[in-house]
Amino acid sequence: MAQGTVGLFDSGVGGLTVAAEVFRMLPEQRVIYFGDTAHVPYGGRSVNELVTLADRIISFLCTQGARYIIFACNTSSAVSLQVLRDRYQVPMTGLIEPGAAEAVRVSTAGRIGVIATEATVRAGAYARAIKEISPDCEVFSKATPQLVPLVEAGEIDTPRAEGVLRAYLEPLKEIGIDTLILGCTHYPFLRRPIARILGTGVRLVDPAAATVRAAMLNIRRLGLLPGDRSHPKTGANSAGHLFYVSGPVGPFASVVRRFLGCEPGLVVQVNLDHKPKTTGG
Ligand code: DGL
């Protein structure tokens, strides 16, 4: 497949865990990523706010040449995807259905835990998607709002992170879950301490890989992105990937560098409320 442009977005650095899968599975595609760090966290926001934020970002990504959108945010996938699919022609894939299918596939006893933001849990999207595939599965959902601020602050393997995780996870372990969905794209950053607390008896499901696989099949089925050279070259690194943030550039650029192991080139700050403002990264 010739190079095209896939747009991804999240409230912050979490969606980079999905971008990593795009780089792995769709290396020929150029990525435009939007991290809405001026509005992170998304998890405590209302449906209206979440739809408005995602709408603005998708519209922006489309003007930047995105021809396929991957929601790299569970909260937006759970709350906004359905509404926005009706407003845009650009095809979109979210994390919930692929993540639910993957959890059902790997679960041995049909006792599936979900940790996610308050908005994702309130929307009930994972429970619904799992039950649709396998009505006999039991789903135990838990809102874990303290985790996103920890990850955004770079607190991954600290005693404080361990304490917060234990308080959230031990009740799920006691209930006897055999599988846990990491239902927020920030949480794979905490995979190591989560695995340590839950032990080997609980399988961890990060929906990112299954989601990008679903998007890849869709992209091929639709015959999309062939020979797309329409993207602007300004600000792109050697692979042409572009990272936009609505908040400060520095902390985000350093996570891109550390986590994706790639030089982000320019990270561009954009305020979608006003006229875009560009700064070097
Ligand atoms: N990473 C996002 C998610 O997957 C959003 C988390 C947040 O900002 O609260 O849900």
What's the pLDDT tens digit per position in 85-138?
999 999 999 999 999 999 999 999 999 999 999 999 999 999 999 999 999 999
* Fold of the CATH domain 96-207: Rossmann fold (3.40.50)
Residue-wise pLDDT for 143-195, tens only, equals 999 999 999 888 988 999 999 999 999 999 999 999 999 999 999 999 999 99
CATH 3.40.50.1860 boundaries in the chain? 5-94+209-269, 96-207
Going from the Cα of 184 to the center of ligand 1, the distance in angstroms, rounded, reads 5
**2 CA to centre of ligand 1 in angstroms:** 31
Contact at 8 Å (CB) between 90 and 132? no
Cα–Cα nearest to 87, from 120, 114, 52: 52
- 5-39 residue pLDDT tens: 999 999 999 999 999 999 999 988 889 999 999 99
Atom of ligand 1 nearest to the CA of 15: 1
CATH class of the region 5-94+209-269: alpha beta
Q: Residue 73 CA: which ligand 1 atom is closest?
A: 4
> Using a 6 Å CB cutoff, which residues line ligand 1?
10-11, 14, 40-43, 73-75, 117, 120, 148, 184-186
265 confidence band (pLDDT: 50, 70, 90) = low
Separation of CA 72 and ligand 1 centre (Å): 9
For 3, counting Cβ atoms within 10 Å of its Cβ (0-12 exposed, 13-18 middle, 19+ buried), the class is: middle
State the closest ligand 1 atom to the C-alpha of 41, by its place in the atom list counted from 1.
8
Residue 11 structure tokens = 């409230």
